[in-house]
Amino acid sequence: MIVIMNPKCKDESIKEVKDYVEALGLKTHLSQGETFCIVGLIGDTSKIDEDKMIAIGEVDKVLKVGEPYKKANRLVKPENSIIDVLGNKIGGKNLAIMAGPCSVESEEQIVEIAKKVKESGANFLRGGAFKPRTSPYSFQGLEKEGLRLLEVAKKETGLPIVTEIMATEDLNDFVDRVDVIQVGARNMQNFHLLKELGKTKTPILLKRGLSSTIEEWIMSAEYIMAGGNENVILCERGIRTFETYTRNTLDLSAIPVVKRLTHLPVIVDPSHATGKNWLVEPLAKSAVIAGADGLMIEVHNNPAKALCDGAQSIKPEEFSKIMDKIKVLAQVEGRDIEGI
Ligand code: PEP
Ligand code: MN
């Protein structure tokens, strides 16, 4: 349930609404902007007397929220959330570009790629240190050493780090050293991990689960937000369908859908969505046109020798060419790429 108040209402009226609701054992969530003032009610709303609420004054409307997600719901916060990561904004008019290898492999590799993607216009460095691999015999990532190497690359380039967490035992390390914590597709419904991430303030990039519906995906964001961390960025990375030609099927429609249902930024990962390097460009461009708030692209200096996901990785030169086209598209669409 949400209480839509007069945007210019007095603080006392908001307090009166909150006092009434909280006395009934519910929690409230205030969302206020220039043109709106909304009090979201969280808990059992069956005890609420809508007429009583209207009688408080300065309450324009009381609406039932049908969706099970409250904090992520656009009804509760009509304006787009903008998440600031070391001065790089994600959401709103901004187009965030996250690029880097699937896995951090060595200092030379990560620093070289970081410098090159930055030169082409990326404003975040991605790179896996803890890798969720299907086979236990595959390269599992450099783990803590990988985090250290990401920090070296950040020092060299200033690019904020985006990297995946797999277990809560690494949480303290991630909170201290990582700028955006990625939750991979395989952990999207690891509710214990989501709850722990909800206790932090670090921005969380939440990838869509392999076979998750849009509502399940948003509910996972809600887990993080319910804990108090509202800095959530969604990432569409393709879902499983009957089609096997591509690694996954990129659900482009999820972008406008998620943006209609929630106020959260949504970025697109065309690399994992397709599994093929030559499909990265057309789908990256399509994602921008469909309204994505950013892109996550796998870039490797030597894809043929990559320890993970070489087939979908593009070379820095190819990334640079794609970025030239993305910059033109961004201009046409009235979007900003921070730092360009
Ligand atoms: C990744 O980004 O490296 C990754 C493993 O992605 P996903 O969780 O989308 O498969
Ligand atoms: Mn990968």
107-158 pLDDT per residue, tens: 999 999 999 999 999 999 999 999 999 999 999 999 999 999 999 999 999 9
Q: Yes or no: say if 285 and 258 are a contact pair by the CB < 8 Å rule.
A: no
Rounded average pLDDT over 156-183:
98
* pLDDT at residue 12, as a whole number: 93
Atom index in ligand 1 nearest the CA of residue 235 equals 9
d(CA 328, ligand 1 centre) in Å: 28
> Would you state the pLDDT for residue 125?
98
Confidence grade of residue 338 (pLDDT, cut at 50, 70, 90): confident
57 falls in which pLDDT band (50, 70, 90)?
Answer: confident
SS3 state at 88: strand
Show the tokens assigned to 244.
């096997």
Average pLDDT over residues 62-90: 94
**Domains of the chain, each with CATH number or no CATH:** 2-63 (3.30.70.1140), 83-332 (3.20.20.70)
Q: CA 181 to CA 178: how far, in whole Å?
A: 6
What's the distance, CA 284 to chain centroid?
Answer: 16
Burial of 246 (0-12, 13-18, 19+ CB in 10 A): middle
pLDDT at 78 over 80: yes
What is the 182 CA–ligand 1 centroid distance (Å)? 9
Q: Give residue 137's pLDDT.
A: 96
Pick the atom of ligand 1 nearest to 309's CA: 3
Q: Tally Cβ neighbours within 10 Å of residue 97.
A: 30
Share of the chain above pLDDT 90, in %: 92
Q: What is the pLDDT of residues 86-99, one digit of tens each?
A: 999 999 999 999 99
Q: State the chain's mean pLDDT as an integer.
A: 96
Top mutation candidate among 182, 207, 308 for ligand 1, by most atoms within 8 Å of CB: 207
Predicted confidence at residue 173, as pLDDT, reads: 97
Residue 103 CA to residue 105 CA, distance in Å, equals: 6
CA of 309 relative to ligand 2 center, distance in Å: 5
Give residue 47's pLDDT.
87
User: 298: which residues sit within 8 A by CB, 6+ positions away?
Assistant: 99, 100, 101, 102, 126, 271, 272, 280, 309, 312, 313, 314
Atom of ligand 1 nearest to the CA of 126: 2
CA–CA distance, 220 with 211 (Å, rounded to integer): 13
Closest CA to 177 of 144, 140, 207: 144
Probe target for ligand 1 pocket from 182, 190, 268, 280, with the most ligand atoms within 8 Å of CB: 182
Measured from the Cα of 269, ligand 1's closest atom is 9
Q: pTM, whole model, 2 decimals?
A: 0.95
Structure tokens given for 35: 């043109």
Q: What angle do CA 131, 135, 137 make, to 5 degrees?
A: 90
Lining ligand 1 with CB less than 6 A are: 102, 128, 132, 184-186, 207, 237, 272
pLDDT confidence of 234, banded at 50, 70, 90? very high
Tens digit of pLDDT for each residue in 306-324? Answer: 999 999 999 999 999 999 9
Ligand 2 centre to CA of 100 (Å) is: 10
The helix/strand/coil state of 204 is: strand
pLDDT 10s digits, 7-56: 999 999 999 999 999 999 999 999 998 899 999 998 888 889 988 888 88
pLDDT of residue 224: 98
- Is residue 255 scored above 80 in pLDDT? yes
